A = this chain, B = another copy of it.
């Protein structure tokens, strides 16, 4: 899985603590990440409707919706793409006693099993929102929001 997923997750969490737009350079400096590449990932999140962007001075990125409405699955899908992890190439169609016109993505027992497992994974990720994670963090580290806001202001 792409490296950018971790960046996107933490970026969304930090943005959930901030009201004003934050530019790429500031977010990158926060975790010492390559700025231009992080920008690329954030652009992807904008295209997915998770973030909104504003240009010019005082511009940057903001969460497009409430943190409760952004699931971890949304972010993963935005960065990794909507394709399934396991891709069924329907090699069964080349086997003996098989008919053309059959969709082996549906009828192949392996494809079904792999898809079931993947659905379990997606269900877990869809059930956890950025707000949930934020609550976890604030429970264990109540100072985190203030620390983040202070550091962002310092880097601005």
Contact = CB atoms under 8 A, between A and B. Distances in A.
Q: Specify how many copies of this chain sit in the oligomer.
A: 2
Please classify the interface of chain A as helix (H, G, I), strand (E, B), loop, or mixed, using the class held by over half of its residues: helix
A116 B121 CA distance: 9
- Interface extent on A, as a size class? 35 or more
A17 interface: no
A147 B97 CA distance: 7
Nearest to A116: B124
Contact of A133 (B110, B117, B144): B110
A5 B92 CA distance: 14
Interface of A: 1, 3, 5-7, 9-10, 13, 30-33, 72, 85-89, 91-92, 94-97, 107, 109-110, 113-114, 116-118, 120-125, 128, 132-133, 136-137, 140-141, 143-144, 147-148, 150-151
